[in-house]
Amino acid sequence: MTQEKLRDYMLTFADAEEYSPFDDTGPIYRHKSNGKWFGFFAELSGKPCVILKCEPLEADFLRQAYRGVTPGWHMNKQHWNTVELCSDVPPEEIEKMVQMSFRLTAPKVQGKRRG
């Protein structure tokens, strides 16, 4: 999967926006409503990568299943994964990881108060 295709996919989510807070790095993908990041791109050892939030058990599973998934670069290693875009990770799996990251960082829904 190319970075351009993944960028386009990440921006299809309602409430998603591309944000560039730093001059020396690429954009960050976050929720408009709460500002929480759900992904960003980096080039590591000359390889294009995306860094995505993940549930800890799923993060471990994905790291064992694919050589192209490693602990999150510059992020909490338990909750974030780095995914090489030109690796053994199928595009469909990368899309699932983006969906999970988006869901995990989404604004919490407030329930009605009783009483």
- What pLDDT, on the 0 to 100 scale, is given for residue 79? 95
**Degrees to nearest 5, angle at CA 85 with 22 and 87:** 145
16 inside domain: yes
31 inside domain: yes
21 inside domain: yes
Q: pLDDT digit string (tens) for 40-65?
A: 999 999 999 999 999 999 999 999 99
85 inside domain: no
Q: What is the CATH number of the domain that holds 72?
A: 3.90.1150.30
54 inside domain: yes
112 inside domain: no
Give the predicted TM-score (pTM) of the model.
0.89
Q: pLDDT digit string (tens) for 70-112?
A: 999 888 888 999 999 999 999 999 999 999 999 999 998 776 6
Residue 27: band (very low, low, confident or very high) from pLDDT cuts 50, 70, 90: confident
- What pLDDT, on the 0 to 100 scale, is given for residue 108? 87
86 inside domain: no
Number of domains forming the structure of the chain: 1
113 inside domain: no
Domain that holds residue 14: 3-78+91-105
Cα–Cα dist 15/89, whole Å: 26
